[in-house]
Amino acid sequence: MKDRFDLEQEIMGCWGITDDLQHLLEHIDKGNFDSLSPSDTDELANIVMGLRHIYEMKFTRLFDTFSDCIPELESPSDNRLNDVTPKEWDQVSKILYSEVK
């Protein structure tokens, strides 16, 4: 069964389209489309930049919504991340495990 971590990974995977559009834009900017006139190349680049920007906004909004739907875990140690004690880690693990069920 999938959980919220799977959902997060799938969202992040979809977000990769913005990288794909950036690579396409770089390919266009290098002039690799000989059949296009300079004005057509410029228009195509503007379209790709617009699409990339739209997807960035949509995925940012999606991830913000995802983050709002997932309750924040309060660390019992003043929000320290990498220097928790074994006892503190056990407490956090219990919280995580109970949410996955």
Nearest to 85 by CA among 76, 96, 74, 73: 76
Domain count, the chain: 1
pLDDT tens digit sequence for 10-55: 888 988 999 999 999 999 988 888 888 999 999 999 999 999 999 9
Return phi, psi of residue 28, to 5°.
-65, -45
Which strand (E) or helix (H) includes residue 21?
helix 17-29
Q: How far apart are CA 30 and CA 27, in angstroms?
A: 5
Tokens of 71: 């309750």
Whole-number pLDDT of residue 78 = 53
Q: Is the pLDDT of residue 99 over 60?
A: no
Whole-number pLDDT of residue 72 = 61
- Domain range for 21 is 4-100
Whole-number pLDDT of residue 75 = 47
Whole-number pLDDT of residue 55 = 94
pLDDT tens digit sequence for 53-85: 999 999 999 988 888 887 764 445 455 556 667
Whole-number pLDDT of residue 49 = 96
